[in-house]
Structure 1
Amino acid sequence: MTTPPISPAATSAEIFNAFIERSWRSNAERQRAKGAEFVIGKREGVYIWDVEGKRRLIDCGVGGGVHGLGHRHPEVLKALQQALNDGRDTGLWSVPNSEYLKLQDQLAALAPKPSLNRSVITLCSTLSVDLATMFAFRVTKRRRMLAYRHGYHGHTGFAATVTGSPEEGVIDHYNLPGCATFLERFGGIAELDRLLTSEIAAFIIEPMDYETFRPASKDFFETAARLCAERGALFIIDETRTGLGRTGALWATEQYDVEPDMMITGKGLSGGLYPASAVLMRESIYEECMNQHRFAYISSLGGNEISCIVAAKVLDVASSPELLANVRRVAALLKQRLEAVCQRRPDMLTAVSSFGLAVSVEVASREIGRALYREIFAEGVFCHSVAEIDPPSLKLFPPLILSDAEATEIAEALDRAAHRVGRAVRPLAMNAV
């Protein structure tokens, strides 16, 4: 039977139904169950509209950082349009291009440590994690990785093997080789000391707990770097989410006294307009892995001219003092506004933690968190997620261009959502007595 084509005027519900019928059914069903039956139409800055043009949301998920500078940032969009108007395309992978060199030099100049002076440009963070893992295997001659159980590093290749989350991980689903050991508690120094054996090629870690958005303590992060150096394992920092200004510094790594062997950036490096990611590394690693084999890493599209031009403009914007100052100021304001809501709703909202504009509102239970996700969506805010580990939290990951007025709008939406959830919960509690 021939499947009818999707109409240009299809509604969000119709598109969801079509996905459920013949495409990625589980994703559409998951979003629908969360109360987020929404297909993006117009998008601009911090806002997204549905295809019907009737609903507007503040995007506080931004694809985990893809749209960190907001949707269709004018400077990044202009750089992409200019690249196309100049007659560029992706070029040929085998022919060097100057834009790749410019981006490499820019990454080296902006790296958190001068030793990270070489980079490989890829299309996405998953590929960068995949490549960093292969590099670690080659350099150390070991074949096991150490990662945090509830971190997130990707869904394919070696990146999938270091994503051990029971919720999002796919290791068992695909019967992947078990080449990773997992740290069960973020910040667990004694556990890290025990697990970092002579088998481990590298410890890959994000500067914050992916599930709770709580930042790594200086003691944990700096001890991890020291133990890796002492035991011959590489220390790989994945800044896919925390980098490019998210914490009020260009890199979260700047806030720790550590010198990683490799660092990954991506998602937001694309500007949400053209895929781009990078692995930064020490020169010795680069030389051994990239220049001791004629075809050490080939990507038909990785590091192409257009992606490098877009990424370079993203770095310009993300590293600007104006943007970083805005992140620090509006993050403090948003935390203050959310804490005021918590004080009014202590039965449901218990605390707020913030690592720049990675913000987590702790809630009384995961069930309340899921109810709040649904209700704040109805009030005009698209949240990142609800934490799958304790403490139960509603997670907000807004664009870095967020204004004071928009931060206030988010807090007011949470206040209204909490009021609605409270009205629904109270009769249930009374009936249970």
Structure 2
Amino acid sequence: MSEFDITSLIKERAGENYDLHEQHVNRTLVKVLRTIGFDKVYARAKGSYLYDAEGNDYLDFLSGYGVYNIGRNHPLVAKAIKDVLDQDLSNMVQMDCALLSGLLAEKVVEITPEHLDAVFFCNSGAEAVEGALKFARGATGRKRILSLAGGYHGLTLGALSFTNNGNFQEGFGPLLPGAEKVGYGDLNELEDKLRQGDVAAFIAEPVQGKGVYWPEEDYFPQAQELCRKYGALFIMDEVQTGFGRTGKMWALEHWNLEPDILTMAKAISGGYVPAAAFVTRREIHQKVFNRLDRCVVHSTTFGRNNLAMTAGLATIHVLQQENLVANAAWAGKVIEEKLIELKARHELIQDIRVKGCMVAVEFGEPRSMKMKLAWKGIHAVDKGLFPQMIVTPLMTKHRVLTHVAGHNLDIIKALPPLIIGEPEINRFINGLDDVLQDCTRLPGPMWDFGRNLVQTAIKQRKSKKLAPA
């Protein structure tokens, strides 16, 4: 029997990535990545950078959708995982209370608002949201749950019911009963719905991931008070914004909020192990686990596994010891200042929104006639194509990885790791400046690429029409 050697296997099959995924995984994603020039094969990663086999570096301003707050492959987290593996500890006995999950729970309680003192560990952001919603219903005995227009909370069926995006929801209905949308920033509508007295919870992202939006300064404090007034729980979904992303450990700190439940995931394990959690008040926790025969009424097999717990402890240590939350706040100010300068020079930039290392650049119809006609032509075919015309050359020409902020949004988004410094910021800003200058050249390579995107979109629409019902 031959030995299994993962190092040799990776070396022997390197470069087959996209062919393997086309055959056995998501072939539609493969087609998209090849179309937009993102079909890179990365050989390794470190800190703020990805590297291909030729050694070319790619500045990672996507961070795995916000997973790599401490940078990729942080050595301290890697060492902690190796050390715990070497101890051959018992793991996931299930009928026990393991040390590492207790230690991480203690740390989570230490770094979250002091009134939150009971933790549940799980595996993903969507699962954390599902648990928070389930606990809200269980603790209040109510069935309706409110969420904000434009919110994103995950793609499992329950979380999807509160992800107010038609593209994600299409084809998966009917969704969860009792899920209701509230207008963004509309306190009157929120109170009208809460006043009915059967709302279990109101869930919101402090900063919406799709587009990087946050409401007026008084909205969340008043929304929290309305929830208290009418007996609904207030849930802050910090799956993407948590662990320093916005320049605070938790984005809720920007408004001094005290939610009843706080969800977290993505950055909690440094990107090594799937991990997530939600933390709530003990009173709410005990209303769910309210009898001896209900001690596992909510459970998940892998939630408290040793590797995730170890990675979580090490990641929080890195965040604190390396002052990464403060660095995120500093980086955000620098990025914002430089983007304001770009906005003054480029008529395509309509707005910028920055909180720490959560960045959005929104584009709008230009004033010059030639540019305006090109803009309208692109949008007549597909409202979501233009930002891809920015994201793709940022990647192919400058090797800076960003992404489009959402469906039918003229917004690009950057989620850099919190470890970035001036070299990374300048590379992003200079690359964006260069790409926007290319946009002014008509005809030019940018608009040629846009025409190719349009042709692809038209072909896709035709194929849909020709497909059998």
Q: How far apart in 1 are the matches of 2:211 and 2:105? A: 33
- Structure 2 residue aligned with 1:160: 160
1:24 and 2:26 correspond = yes
- Structure 2 residue aligned with 1:372: 390
- Structure 2 residue aligned with 1:287: 286
Q: Is the 1:212–1:389 contact (alpha carbons within 8 Å) kept by the matching residues of 2?
A: no
- Structure 2 residue aligned with 1:173: 172
Q: Is the 1:245–1:319 contact (alpha carbons within 8 Å) kept by the matching residues of 2?
A: no
1:189 and 2:187 correspond = yes
Q: Is the 2:210–2:406 contact (alpha carbons within 8 Å) kept by the matching residues of 1?
A: yes
Change (3 A) 1:401 1:310: same
Shift of 1:29: 2.5
Q: Is the 2:330–2:356 contact (alpha carbons within 8 Å) kept by the matching residues of 1?
A: no
1:381 and 2:382 correspond = no
Shift of 1:426: 7.0
Q: How far apart in 2 are the matches of 1:212 and 1:163? A: 14
- Structure 1 residue aligned with 2:214: 215
Shift of 1:413: 1.1
- Structure 1 residue aligned with 2:376: none
Q: Which amino acid aligns with 2:400?
A: V
- Structure 1 residue aligned with 2:98: 97
Which has the higher mean CA deviation after the structures are superposed, 88-97 or 113-122? 88-97
Shift of 1:269: 0.3
Q: Is the 2:92–2:301 contact (alpha carbons within 8 Å) kept by the matching residues of 1?
A: no
Q: How far apart in 1 are the matches of 2:320 and 2:168? A: 31
**TM-score calculated relative to the size of structure 2:** 0.83
Q: How far apart in 1 are the matches of 2:217 and 2:84? A: 42
**TM-score calculated relative to the size of structure 1:** 0.89
Q: Residues 262-284 of structure 1: CA distance to partner in whole angstroms, max 9, x if unpaired? A: 00011100210012111110010
Q: How far apart in 2 are the matches of 1:194 and 1:426? A: 53
- Structure 1 residue aligned with 2:243: 244
- Structure 1 residue aligned with 2:353: 353
- Structure 1 residue aligned with 2:38: 36
Which has the higher mean CA deviation after the structures are superposed, 190-199 or 324-333? 190-199
Shift of 1:226: 1.0
Q: Is the 1:244–1:319 contact (alpha carbons within 8 Å) kept by the matching residues of 2?
A: no
**Which structure's CA Rg is the greater one?**
2
Q: Is the 1:205–1:238 contact (alpha carbons within 8 Å) kept by the matching residues of 2?
A: yes
Q: Is the 1:6–1:15 contact (alpha carbons within 8 Å) kept by the matching residues of 2?
A: no
Q: Residues 120-179 of structure 1: CA distance to partner in whole angstroms, max 9, x if unpaired? A: 111111111111111111111122221123221111142222212123336x42543333
Q: How far apart in 1 are the matches of 2:127 and 2:174? A: 20
Q: Is the 1:120–1:278 contact (alpha carbons within 8 Å) kept by the matching residues of 2?
A: yes
Identical residues among aligned pairs (%): 26
Q: How does 1:24-423 map to 2 (within 5 A)?
A: 24-50=26-52, 52-53=53-54, 55-88=56-89, 90-111=91-112, 113-169=113-169, 172-173=171-172, 175-183=174-182, 185-196=183-194, 197-292=196-291, 293-320=294-321, 322-346=323-347, 348-364=348-364, 367-378=385-396, 379-388=398-407, 392-423=410-441
Q: Which amino acid aligns with 1:413?
A: G
SS at match of 1:269: helix
Q: Which amino acid aligns with 1:25?
A: R
CA RMSD of aligned residues (A): 2.4
Shift of 1:320: 4.2
Shift of 1:108: 1.2
Change (3 A) 1:297 1:411: same
Q: Which amino acid aligns with 1:117?
A: D
Q: Which amino acid aligns with 2:337?
A: Q
Shift of 1:68: 1.6
Change (3 A) 1:425 1:373: farther
Q: Residues 15-34 of structure 1: CA distance to partner in whole angstroms, max 9, x if unpaired? A: 32442344212222333333
Q: How far apart in 2 are the matches of 1:46 and 1:354? A: 19
Shift of 1:77: 1.5
Shift of 1:305: 2.2
Q: How far apart in 2 are the matches of 1:414 and 1:237? A: 33
Change (3 A) 1:260 1:421: same
Q: Is the 1:368–1:421 contact (alpha carbons within 8 Å) kept by the matching residues of 2?
A: no
Q: Residues 48-91 of structure 1: CA distance to partner in whole angstroms, max 9, x if unpaired? A: 123x4354211111122111211111221221111112223633
SS at match of 2:108: helix
Q: Which runs of 4+ in 1 moved over 4 A?
A: 424-429
SS at match of 1:263: strand
Q: How far apart in 2 are the matches of 1:272 and 1:321? A: 17
Q: How far apart in 1 are the matches of 2:116 and 2:18? A: 44
Change (3 A) 1:167 1:61: farther
Shift of 1:211: 1.8
